[in-house]
Amino acid sequence: MVQAEVALPPPVVTNLAGFFATSTACGAFVMQGGATTDGFSSSGGGYAATRSTTAGGIGSNGSVSLGGSPTQVGGNVYVPNANVGACPDGVQEAGGAGLLAGNNVIAQPAVSVATPPAPNPPPPTTNLNNPRSLVPGNYGNINLTGQTALTLAPGVYNINSISTTGQSTITISPPGAVVINVAGQGQATPVDLEGGGLMNTTGIAGNFQINYAGTGAMKIAGGSAAYGVINAPNAALTFTGGSNFYGSAVAATVSDTGGTALHFDTTLLNNTTTPAANLDKISMREVAY
């Protein structure tokens, strides 16, 4: 007998905005402290070979706030009204921040983003303080401390929460993709990846996806191999650490005030909508019958 692991592909990115805030609030998307965006193609040769200062689009159902030089957007900004300096529904620029040449503020209607299904994981907590590997399955709260190096095998993980502290790291290695579905029950910050960073050694953002349906906080620290897709349309997402994040992200609010460079993987534009009938195969294994 053959057992297969399947999952929904990463959500389709709307209107070339690789990083998007679904909230209608003023300043739903904030970039400060030298934060930047650009774009690249993981299927076209990688970041160094395909970097584009016009493909790093961002957007919001509310307004976008840009502050402090050299905060720059290397792509279009998609908001309900294409005005600059007014709120709500426009773009606010201060301190020399703005859009790089060749990019524009583009008006678009509010975008509706589907909420991912919430898993129902078991309650136990998994505390890890030694190098470990996990296989796909159901877990409670996964807490990484010290210099823990956690390696995730390809497949689907249904968890309650995950946190990294100290120099702890999460590694995704080829072949295959990792999908983490987060419940977040009883957790103010169900996803806190501020430790030693995420290392997606495949260099493909779509090979690491976090789905979260709740309204809690998410904190993500970038890194030289931080490739991933964040699908959390009701959450408050904060990028920390002033490093790099490669991929895309959807959240209710997006805050990048520490100078993290956001790099949109335009390969994600090739994804289509994700009805239940269109599941991607992640892995297969032979099971004794």
pLDDT, one tens digit per residue, over 93-152 is: 999 999 999 999 999 999 988 899 889 877 788 888 888 899 999 999 999 998 899 999
Q: Give the per-residue pLDDT at 140.
A: 94
Centroid of chain to Cα 277: 24
Cα separation, 89 vs 178, whole angstroms: 36
- Give yes or no for residue 272 having a pLDDT over 70: no
Q: Which residue has the higher pLDDT, 2 or 217?
A: 217
pLDDT band at 5 (very low <50, low <70, confident <90, very high): low
Cα separation, 240 vs 197, whole angstroms: 11
Q: Give the per-residue pLDDT at 10.
A: 52
| 38-61 pLDDT, tens digit each | 999 999 899 999 999 999 999 999
Cα separation, 158 vs 282, whole angstroms: 15
Q: Give the per-residue pLDDT at 124.
A: 83
Cα separation, 249 vs 64, whole angstroms: 15
- Give yes or no for residue 279 having a pLDDT over 70: no
Q: Is 190 helix (H, G, I), strand (E, B) or coil?
A: coil
- Give yes or no for residue 15 having a pLDDT over 90: no
Cα separation, 72 vs 53, whole angstroms: 10
Cα separation, 250 vs 14, whole angstroms: 10
- Give yes or no for residue 13 having a pLDDT over 60: no
